[in-house]
Amino acid sequence: MKYAMLIYGDDSAWVDLPDEERAALRTDEMPQWISLFEELRRADPTVSGKELDGRNTAKVVRVRDGERLVTDGPYVETKEILGGVFLIDLPDLDEAIRLASLIPAAKDTGSIEIRPILQ
């Protein structure tokens, strides 16, 4: 079964950091992510992932009565925002849960939502 692991977290503090501090935090966290990537690749060599830029880069597009409405900012009703996604083929949900629990962003206020991908 192919799954999407949707990584939700509150990035409001993160996007407001000065560039150097954000870069330093990324460098600190990178080893945890690299070991996660290795674990994901062991589970599925075809795994892929996308990290999304912060909430300040988002636009929302709606079309109503043929008219296009574009607004700045993410589509959110919550503090948490989608920050990235992994696409991975796994034998079952238990394995997806095990791997999701290794994602560093599952900690603090983060959540990993696992959704099957329809073929």
Partner 1 sequence: MQFITLIHTDEAPWETFSDEEKEGWYERYRQLMRDAEAAGVLAGGHELASTRDATTVRIRNDETLVTDGPYAEVKEALGGFFVFECESMDDAVDWAARIPGAEHGAIEVRPVHVDPEEVQL
Q: Counting contacts by CB under 8 A, is residue 78 touching partner 1? A: yes
Q: CA torsion 79→71→82→85, rounded to 10°?
A: 180
Residue with tokens 């079309």: 63
Q: Counting contacts by CB under 8 A, is residue 35 touching partner 1? A: no
Q: Counting contacts by CB under 8 A, is residue 43 touching partner 1? A: no
Neighbours of 101 (CB within 10 A): 10
Given the complex with partner 1, which of 13 and 61 has the nearer CB atom?
Answer: 61
String of contacts with partner 1 for each residue 80-109, x by CB under 8 A: x-x-xxxx-----x--xx--xx-x--xx--
Please name the helix (run of DSSP H) or strand (run of DSSP E) that holds residue 61, with its range, or none.
Answer: strand 59-64
Q: Which of 93, 109, 119 is CA-nearest to residue 5? A: 93
Interface with partner 1 by CB under 8 A: which residues? 4, 6, 8, 26, 30, 33-34, 37, 40-41, 47-53, 57-64, 68, 70, 74-75, 77-78, 80, 82, 84-87, 93, 96-97, 100-101, 103, 106-107, 110-118
